[in-house]
Amino acid sequence: MVFRKPPDGGWGWVIVVVSFFTQFLCYGSPLAVGVLYLEWLDAFGEGKGKTAWVGSLANGIGLLASPVCSVCVSSFGARPVAIFSGFMVAGGLMMSSFAPNIYFLYISYGIVVGLGCGLLYTATVTITCHYFDKRRGLALGLISTGSSVGLFIYAALQRELIDLYGLDGCLLIVGALSLNILACGSLMRPLESSDCPPPEKTCVDKVPDQYFVYHEKEKTVEENISIVEKGYIDEKCANNMPDYKQDSILNKNVLSSINVNEKDTYKKKVVEQTNFCKQLAKRKWQVYLNYWEETLVLFKNKVFSALFVAILLFDIGGFPPSLLMEDVARSANINEDDYHMPLISIIGIMTAVGKLTLGILADFKWVNTLYLYVTTLLMTGVALFAIPFAKSYLTLAMLSGILGFLTGNWSIFPYVTTKTVGIEKLTHAYGILMFFAGLGNSLGPPIVGWFYDWTQEYDTAFYFSGFCVLLGGFLLLLAALPCWNACTNQSSKLPPNTYSYKVASSA
């Protein structure tokens, strides 16, 4: 398949629109799961830590399975994966309406919906990158706001649906809305050349002829039979032997010839195929060894190692507010008359603003993206420490807006990764970091919930969250300081394939 040059427009803008709505429809409910979290607490009567696993799995499983999602999109294409994943998300949401217990929700909402969201995210990003080159940053920025807008709208929508139709009716309606992903996916037309060359041979056609054991064996048998039959006719004419004797001699000759040729050919080809499999296994094993060697080289870069710790701790501490802020407000006994807008909606809209603002700041040459990212981490830690002191809707709303804006640092994380390891290692490094980000997303809310179950208040939980984020930010800042890099460079040289952030940031 030969792809045309990215048009940077045309049908590409249709791709941007449908990708925006795809992320809006698939991530709206999982990101706004804090509204459902309150209902599940009342419906099943489980602890906050155990119930929080549902939302954390839905948001973390897609990142944990990012390598599998990438393989699926590469193998089958963005459009088939998007359509199939639309069924997964809609089916998982509808199945969740019939959940008899919290463990059923782990599968239906946590794994099925979460994996479908991960596949859809990979499909939308991949197809957008195919259609855009010069305007790729703008296109990716536009589609990434779909999830934030979905969080803003779905938080209020799910609350209204629960009041009108109950929890089960809400999940059924939201699942039905997710079926619109099928229409969006069908418009994800692959970017193919109209004058494609003839298709290459398939993998089976490319296999050398000497490996087709059974084909050659059958050919040998047919040739043997034809040769024996020819001798049979000549001998019959010359000797005029009785037919039954000639038939018995013919059968013996045929069988002996077939058996000898079959055994020789089969043994020879089995040996050849065994050698071929051994060589293939050695090649695959070498690929895995190279992958782990490159991974070890990445972790020898101090900034990358600190970045890995920072993203893990940030997601452990920074993700829980988007899931638990509604329960924090209920625990603070805030009057419903003062509750003008769901706190999760505020987080969602400010996350969209933060993504765009921080992304624009990262494009300025005088801005060091790593220090900008560290600043967002430190400010997030301070905001988390302030949550236990917020006892009114106004203060909680302000903190929700600040946390939402700072969570928009996801838009500059690829910039930071690129300048840390270099563009040639971006895919490898980003995949590793996203895996640990998914791990942090999965562990953060249950840990905060367990703290509540243990202490019966959220204060200790958010002190712990703030400490995690601050620790990650300080470690990353320490690793990125020029004086620290100068000291380490004097004592030992960097490995040949690593990339110093000091050099990258000044490039």
Render pLDDT for 348-401 as a digit per residue (tens, 0 to 9). Answer: 889 888 888 887 787 777 888 889 999 999 999 999 999 988 888 889 989 999
Measured on CA atoms in the order 129, 30, 441, 92, is the torsion positive or negative? negative
Which residues are within 8 A (CB) of 262 and not within 5 positions of it... i.e. 6 or more apart? 217, 220, 221
The model's confidence at residue 103, banded by pLDDT at 50, 70 and 90, is very high
- Predicted pLDDT at 286: 62
7-194 fold: Growth Hormone; Chain: A; (1.20.1250)
Tracing tokens 């106004």 back to the chain, one arrives at: 394
Pair 97, 167: CB distance under 8 Å: yes
Per-position b or e across 425-438, b if 16+ CB within 10 A of its CB: beeebbebbbbbbb
Which residues are within 8 A (CB) of 132 and not within 5 positions of it... i.e. 6 or more apart? 6, 8, 12, 138, 139, 140
d(CA 415, CA 141): 13
Least confident of 124-138, 145-159, 432-446, 452-466: 124-138
Mean pLDDT score, 113-120 = 91
pLDDT at 207 over 60: no
d(CA 114, CA 176): 17
> Contacts by 103-109 with C-beta closer than 8 Å and gap 24+?
105/40, 105/54, 106/53, 106/54, 106/57, 109/33, 109/54, 109/57, 109/58
Please determine whether the domains at 7-194 and 274-483 fall in the same fold group of CATH. Answer: yes
Condensed to tens digits (0 to 9), the pLDDT of residues 1-38 reads 445 667 777 888 899 899 999 999 999 889 888 889 88
Least confident of 199-208, 321-330, 467-476: 199-208
Q: How many CB atoms lie within 10 A of CB 398?
A: 15
Q: What percent of the chain has pLDDT over 70?
A: 72
**154 Cα distance to chain centroid:** 22
Nearest-Å Rg of the Cα atoms of the chain is 31
- Predicted pLDDT at 229: 46
pLDDT at 237 over 50: no
Closest Cα partner for 381 from 305, 477, 455, 484?
Answer: 477
- Predicted pLDDT at 223: 47
Q: Residue 235 burial by CB count (10 A; 0-12/13-18/19+): exposed, middle or buried?
A: middle
- Domain residues of the chain, as ranges? 7-194, 274-483
Pair 377, 472: CB distance under 8 Å: yes
The half-sphere exposure of 6 on its side-chain side, counting CA atoms within 13 A, is 16
Q: Which range, 7-21, 255-269, 326-340, 474-488, has the best average confidence (pLDDT)?
A: 7-21
Least confident of 318-322, 403-407, 459-463: 318-322
**pTM score:** 0.66
- Predicted pLDDT at 427: 62
d(CA 116, CA 82): 9
Provide the 3-class DSSP secondary structure of residue 291: helix
CA distances from residue 91 to 29, 52, 158, 170, 212 in whole angstroms, order as listed: 13, 21, 17, 14, 45
pLDDT at 232 over 70: no
The model's confidence at residue 55, banded by pLDDT at 50, 70 and 90, is confident
The model's confidence at residue 167, banded by pLDDT at 50, 70 and 90, is very high
Q: How far apart are the first and last CA of the chain?
A: 37
Tokens of 402: 């600040």
- Predicted pLDDT at 467: 93
pLDDT, the chain, mean: 77
Report which residue type is found at 332: A
pLDDT at 244 over 50: no
The model's confidence at residue 89, banded by pLDDT at 50, 70 and 90, is very high
Pair 44, 51: CB distance under 8 Å: yes
DSSP state letters, 148-171:
HHHHHHHHHHHHHHHHHHHHHHHH
- Predicted pLDDT at 276: 63
- Predicted pLDDT at 268: 63
The model's confidence at residue 224, banded by pLDDT at 50, 70 and 90, is very low
Closest Cα partner for 155 from 322, 320, 273, 393?
Answer: 322
Measured on CA atoms in the order 367, 371, 377, 381, is the torsion positive or negative? negative
d(CA 423, CA 219): 54
> Contacts by 420-423 with C-beta closer than 8 Å and gap 24+?
420/301, 420/303, 420/304, 420/307, 420/370, 420/499, 420/501, 420/504, 421/298, 421/301, 421/304, 421/498, 421/499, 422/499, 422/504
- Predicted pLDDT at 186: 93
- Predicted pLDDT at 239: 47
Pair 298, 429: CB distance under 8 Å: yes
pLDDT at 447 over 70: yes
d(CA 506, CA 367): 10
Pair 307, 419: CB distance under 8 Å: no
Q: Report the CATH number of the 274-483 domain.
A: 1.20.1250.20
CA distances from residue 170 to 66, 103, 167 in whole angstroms, order as listed: 29, 20, 5
Tracing tokens 């549902």 back to the chain, one arrives at: 54
Measured on CA atoms in the order 54, 56, 59, 62, is the torsion positive or negative? negative
